[in-house]
Structure 1
Amino acid sequence: MKINWSGFSKKTYPERLKMLRDSDLLSHELQENLEKNETLSVAIADQLSENVIGTFSLPFSIVPEVIVNNQAYTVPYVTEEPSVVAAASFACKIINRSGGFSAHVHQRLMIGQVALYQVPDREQACQEILNQKDQLLEIANQAYPSIVKRGGGAREIRVEKVSGQTDFLVVYLHVDTQEAMGANMLNTMLEALKPHLESLSRGQSLMGILSNYATESLVTSSCRIAFHYLSPNKDEARELADKIVLASHFAQADPYRAATHNKGIFNGIDALLIATGNDWRAIEAGAHAYASRDGLYRGLSLWTLDSEKEELIGEMTLPMPIATKGGSIGLNPRVVLSHELLGQPFAKDLAQIIVSMGLAQNFAALKALVGAGIQQGHMKLQAKSLALLAGAKEAEVPKLVDGLIAEKTFNLEKAKSILKELRS
């Protein structure tokens, strides 16, 4: 069903919900929950965390019609930053015109590690452990048989000598976690392996723990954007494409720029991770480690030109070990809604959507930075935030925003002054 999203942002809140319902993107039950402002209850929150004194709300938005692998998705975003949703929507409109995103999952295995120390002969211990690989994999699977029944389980064991202030022998376990992120699964398997590894190595185990540096869960998303979608002026479009590529090179060469470049990518990724109940801290930790994999912290995305076809090409690869089952995913009503809006995707599909949204956010930021400048796009949204902080009522906000933009002074004192004039 083709949905006409034109003017969606101008509709009232009830009109948006009705449109989602009429487009079969929202069940009647979940529509009622939204209208009642149903969110995470204190009773459930008290089971999820300690010392609970309430719950904390953030804006829940959507980015309409994001095309990934020729399928259109309605993407939920949870973010307090005003420009993020607008930027993502703008970027996806342009990218959709050139066919949308192409994405693929390289592999989906989580990695856990057991660190052994005081190993008398690390070389011999390596060989002893590898000689028992099949038996060790079986022990790991016996520790978590339910994942084996679902088609997953321990797949590989490797061993490395790691030296620093202390010499370690590190055993890495690779596990297919299916739809789960798998932290508890990995940790349970590693605990089961520890005594056997101590016996084989004749050393001591320091810890067994999942690694968030998920290099066996890489996902790549790419897009191609025809120059003429960047600007109706041919020369300006080519100049914008050239500058976006230069900005990408800058983020590859300078870690100060790379940090801000990657923060912009995570504006979108985090918004979708939070909406779908995933651990955004784990994903960020793994991605920042991946950005430093060759010893220099670099931008995560790369933009190049196809001059013959007159296209700008964006590509990004990230560790993306997200989940669609487990944890708090089924407990928070807003998370349930997010998965319904997305069409109940499998973990591999959701991972591809998430990386694509990071690339979209990056494109929007770079186009603004090398074009009119990032601040121009933020002005109206900043003015709206100031108007609300100044105490403007809903009917007063548009006039106060216009006044701030006309004055070109963006601070709370000026907003209060203009509001006072409007009311007098």
Structure 2
Amino acid sequence: MTQTLSSSRISGFHKHSVSERIALLSKIMQLDATDSDLLANCGNLSQEVGNHMIENFVGTMTIPVGIATNMRIDGKDVLVPMATEESSVVAAVCNAARQAYDNGGFITSMSGAEMIAQIQLVNVTDPTHARLCILEKKEEIRAICDACDPLLIKLGGGFRDLEVRVIETKSGPMVITHLIVDTRDAMGANAVNTMAEKLAPSIAQWTGGKTYLRILSNLADRRLARARCIWRTEDIGGEAVRDGMIMAYHFAESDPYRAATHNKGIMNGVSAVVLATGNDTRAVEAGAHAYASRNGRYSSLTSWEVTPEGDLAGVIEMPMAVGLVGGATKLHPMARAALKILNIASASELAQVIAAVGLAQNFSAMKALATTGIQKGHMTLHSHNIAMMAGAVGKEVDQLAKILVAKGGVRIDIAEKELALLRGE
């Protein structure tokens, strides 16, 4: 029976220790010992670290981490950790990379490491005049921003440029200042937010207006990761497969309903690497989908063409605000291990690897859709999940999964019946 919660107001919950919170939660919600033990078992993240990472910490949610093999990027072989709960994601990247490996793999590049912080100015009667007043203060702005983070300056980063726009809104005209900041190997949110908050009072003083929002933009279009790859037609199954994939892309390019799922498939790979390395999945996802709409309608993050030789060429370009320093990338032991496995030297290199994974993921999804359909491969891998959900253990998992695939019915009700037969019940 579902337990009815009388009130979610728990005074001082954040002041308790982790074990005390688990005990209190178990008492209120009548959790059994198994549930309480699951919360207490934090796996490879200690309770102490977890308790300092988020508020009201009570446990962890363990996500499987797999390794994408066959990845050759810019002439270098790379093993890529991916954290995901979805069947077939890691396998899809491995298969796409394998089919491109002998032709050189992926070529990548990066537009830069610059992030944007926005300062919103309102209540100005002369917004165009105010815009120029701010632009004239560029060197003063540089000094204020750079003074916020001497370490970033020492590492070669810091304030780079200034943009000021006047936009019309339902609240009237607003003057929006963009601080362009090179954040080097950090994702950069904390650095640019600090600069925006420090600068805002000066902008208000210079213009006679009032500043409100002072925060970064996750549309990191000055931090674009790019990857390209050519798959030889004979390596992917022939011209019919190639042409089917091109038509799948044209569908996504033209229709936002298809593009949403097309790009979701890309993000299956992208978000898995972002998560495995302790970076901000929500920031990357927000930037990706905003970038996909930059031309006034939502479209594909990838582009696909046929080369003069008749091969299939794929390209991806998307914002990629990731870092190697700060946040969970340094705190979470699994994130640190993932970065060691990747063996990369900079945040830009990480972003380029992630872009290559996104392109590989898109290749596999389009190929499956244009040939056998997405369910055949996905459900073959998902059959193991269904087998375990039905209660299979040990060798039974593989045995039952094969039976489900052979019968073409990867469903829990079928799995339960077949498991009973397998056990002679």
Q: Same fold (TM over 0.5)?
A: yes
Q: SS of 1:81's equivalent?
A: coil
Q: SS of 1:316's equivalent?
A: strand
Note the residue ranges of structure 2 that are not aligned, 5 or more in a row: 1-41
**What does residue 298 of structure 1 align with?**
299
Q: Using the alignment, how far apart are the partners of 1:278 and 1:323 within structure 2? A: 7
Which residue identity does 2:187 align to in structure 1?
M
Q: Does 1:390 align with 2:390?
A: yes
Q: Is the 8 A contact 1:41 1:55 kept in 2?
A: no
Q: Using the alignment, how far apart are the partners of 1:188 and 1:408 within structure 2? A: 56
Shift in Å at residue 400 of structure 1? 1.1
Shift in Å at residue 270 of structure 1? 0.6
Q: Using the alignment, how far apart are the partners of 1:123 and 1:295 within structure 2? A: 25
Q: Using the alignment, how far apart are the partners of 1:113 and 1:404 within structure 2? A: 54
**What does residue 250 of structure 2 align with?**
249
**What does residue 233 of structure 2 align with?**
227
Q: Using the alignment, how far apart are the partners of 1:259 and 1:123 within structure 2? A: 38
Which residue identity does 1:172 align to in structure 2?
H
User: After superposition, where does 1:279-358 map in structure 2 within 5 Å?
Assistant: 279-306=280-307, 308-358=308-358
Q: Is the 8 A contact 1:38 1:333 kept in 2?
A: no
Q: Using the alignment, how far apart are the partners of 1:271 and 1:223 within structure 2? A: 20
Shift in Å at residue 106 of structure 1? 1.4
**What does residue 72 of structure 1 align with?**
77
35, 41, 47: which one pairs with 2:46?
41
Q: Does 1:178 align with 2:179?
A: no
Q: Is the 8 A contact 1:120 1:202 kept in 2?
A: no
Percent identity over the alignment is: 39
Shift in Å at residue 369 of structure 1? 0.4
Q: Using the alignment, how far apart are the partners of 2:345 and 2:377 within structure 1? A: 33
Q: Does 1:369 align with 2:374?
A: no
**Paired residues, number:** 383
Shift in Å at residue 60 of structure 1? 1.1
Deviations 1:41-74 (A, max 9, x none): 1110000001111111011110123111111111
With structure 1 as the length reference, what TM-score do the two structures score? 0.88
202, 206, 210: which one pairs with 2:216?
210
User: After superposition, where does 1:15-164 map in structure 2 within 5 Å?
Assistant: 39-164=44-169
193, 199, 204: which one pairs with 1:198?
204
Q: SS of 1:349's equivalent?
A: helix
Over 3 Å counting, the alpha-carbon distance change for 1:78 and 1:208 in structure 2 is same
Deviations 1:158-215 (A, max 9, x none): 1100111021000100000011011111111111111110111110001210110101
Give me the CA root mean square deviation: 1.3
Q: Does 1:380 align with 2:386?
A: no
Which residue identity does 2:222 align to in structure 1?
E
**What does residue 21 of structure 2 align with?**
none
Q: Using the alignment, how far apart are the partners of 1:345 and 1:249 within structure 2? A: 37
Q: Using the alignment, how far apart are the partners of 2:248 and 2:341 within structure 1? A: 34
Q: SS of 1:214's equivalent?
A: coil
Q: Is the 8 A contact 1:252 1:299 kept in 2?
A: yes
Q: Is the 8 A contact 1:213 1:287 kept in 2?
A: yes
Q: Using the alignment, how far apart are the partners of 2:389 and 2:345 within structure 1? A: 38
Deviations 1:312-351 (A, max 9, x none): 0000100111101111211111111101001143101010
Q: Is the 8 A contact 2:121 2:211 kept in 1?
A: yes
Shift in Å at residue 82 of structure 1? 1.3
Shift in Å at residue 407 of structure 1? 2.1
Please, which moves more after superposition, 256-265 or 377-386?
Answer: 377-386
Which residue identity does 1:159 align to in structure 2?
V
Which residue identity does 1:253 align to in structure 2?
S
Q: Using the alignment, how far apart are the partners of 2:288 and 2:379 within structure 1? A: 31
Q: Is the 8 A contact 2:43 2:62 kept in 1?
A: no
Q: Using the alignment, how far apart are the partners of 1:208 and 1:259 within structure 2? A: 30
Q: Is the 8 A contact 1:113 1:211 kept in 2?
A: yes
Q: SS of 1:102's equivalent?
A: strand
Shift in Å at residue 38 of structure 1? 5.6
Q: Is the 8 A contact 2:116 2:180 kept in 1?
A: yes
Q: Using the alignment, how far apart are the partners of 2:313 and 2:143 within structure 1? A: 45
Which residue identity does 1:322 align to in structure 2?
V
Which residue identity does 1:274 align to in structure 2?
L
Q: Using the alignment, how far apart are the partners of 2:417 and 2:127 within structure 1? A: 72
**What does residue 413 of structure 1 align with?**
413
Q: Using the alignment, how far apart are the partners of 1:89 and 1:406 within structure 2? A: 24
Shift in Å at residue 421 of structure 1? 0.6
Note the residue ranges of structure 1 that are not aligned, 5 or more in a row: 1-36, 232-236
Q: Using the alignment, how far apart are the partners of 1:52 and 1:107 within structure 2? A: 36
Q: SS of 1:139's equivalent?
A: helix
Q: SS of 1:396's equivalent?
A: helix
Shift in Å at residue 379 of structure 1? 2.6
Which residue identity does 2:297 align to in structure 1?
L
Which residue identity does 1:367 align to in structure 2?
K
Please, which moves more after superposition, 129-138 or 393-402?
Answer: 393-402
Which residue identity does 2:95 align to in structure 1?
F
Shift in Å at residue 385 of structure 1? 1.1
Instruction: Give the ranges of 4+ consecutive aligned residues of structure 1 lying more than 6 Å apart after TM superposition.
Output: none
Shift in Å at residue 247 of structure 1? 0.9
Which residue identity does 2:281 align to in structure 1?
W
